[in-house]
């Protein structure tokens, strides 16, 4: 069973490495594209700093606290985007009929689509997120305890899993709604942008929606309330601050079921 669980990881690594080796034949282009990706990805952090040049706080949060939210969100999203971001192209494959070729190969269709054209430039997204998080952590006025210190890597891991579940879930929707690519981006890219800021910026009904319907609040907001020792504006019990791993597991489980259902009910274009 252990080997069966490790096999998809090895297959993913092998296919990703194949694409990386191909990109490595053009090192200058690869380096420039990676740098450009890092710079573009860091513009959101610059936007946060611009806002703080006009105000000392945003929705009651200081600059280090908002940059902490940005860093954890951006890092979680970047990792999930690197691993599964290309699944957003599933609808195009269904429309063009190229998914049929993927299904007849002896490798998981999800792994094939996720590793397609895997490029080192995607790794550039990690740089600004990691740098901002590293700079924000020592500047937080938080009551650091072993539990709060352990929560930081746990919230990044849980946030990554939540975004990964959203990538797969929104891809599965495209089995049925082929042209929903633009709409599903509101959950992935839109969710990444949303979680970079305090939820106190938004209305209570909206916050309820991203807590109980699409659980984006568990990417970093609920764990961050524990780390920063802040009250929950919705008045949820303290246990909600520790629920991110369970939420991530539930969302990934739902995404897996949706993906399998989409594969099982898929019908070829016949072209």
Helix (H) or strand (E) holding 108: none
Using the predicted structure, report yes or no on whether residue 113 has a pLDDT greater than 80.
yes
The whole-number average pLDDT for the span 232-256 is 95
Quote the DSSP letter at residue 35: H
174: Cα within 13 Å, side-chain hemisphere: 25
What does the pLDDT read at residue 1? 39
The whole-number average pLDDT for the span 98-112 is 89
The whole-model pTM stands at 0.91
What does the pLDDT read at residue 2? 45
Least confident of 117-121, 166-170, 203-207, 243-247: 117-121
Using the predicted structure, report yes or no on whether residue 111 has a pLDDT greater than 80.
yes
What does the pLDDT read at residue 3? 55
Using the predicted structure, report yes or no on whether residue 26 has a pLDDT greater than 80.
no
CA 23 to chain centre: 24
DSSP state letters, 135-198: HHGGG------HHHHHHHHHHHHHHHHHHHHHHHHHHHHTTT-TT-HHHHHHHHHHHHHHTTS-
């Amino acid at each position: 069973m252990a080997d069966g669980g490790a096999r998809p990881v090895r297959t993913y690594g092998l296919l990703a490495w194949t694409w990386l080796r191909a990109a490595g034949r053009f090192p200058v282009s690869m380096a420039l594209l990676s740098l450009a990706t890092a710079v573009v990805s860091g513009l959101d952090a610059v936007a946060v700093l611009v806002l703080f040049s006009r105000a000392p706080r945003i929705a009651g949060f200081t600059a280090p606290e908002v940059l902490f939210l940005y860093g954890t969100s951006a890092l979680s999203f970047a990792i999930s985007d690197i691993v599964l971001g290309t699944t957003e192209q599933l609808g195009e494959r269904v429309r063009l009929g190229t998914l049929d070729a993927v299904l007849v190969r002896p490798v998981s269709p999800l792994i094939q689509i996720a590793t397609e054209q895997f490029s080192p430039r995607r790794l550039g997204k990690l740089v600004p997120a990691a740098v901002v998080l590293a700079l924000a952590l020592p500047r937080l006025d938080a009551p650091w305890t072993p539990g709060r210190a352990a929560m930081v890597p746990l919230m990044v891991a849980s946030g990554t899993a939540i975004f990964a579940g959203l990538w797969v879930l929104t891809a599965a929707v495209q089995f049925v709604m082929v042209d929903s690519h633009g709409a599903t981006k509101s959950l992935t890219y839109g969710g990444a942008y949303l979680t970079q800021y305090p939820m106190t910026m938004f209305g209570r009904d909206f916050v309820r929606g991203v807590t109980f319907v699409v659980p984006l609040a568990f990417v970093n907001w609920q764990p961050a309330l524990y780390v920063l020792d802040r009250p929950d504006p919705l008045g949820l019990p303290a246990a909600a601050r520790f629920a991110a791993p369970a939420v991530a597991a539930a969302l990934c489980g739902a995404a897996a079921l949706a993906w399998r259902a989409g594969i099982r009910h898929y019908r070829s274009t016949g072209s």
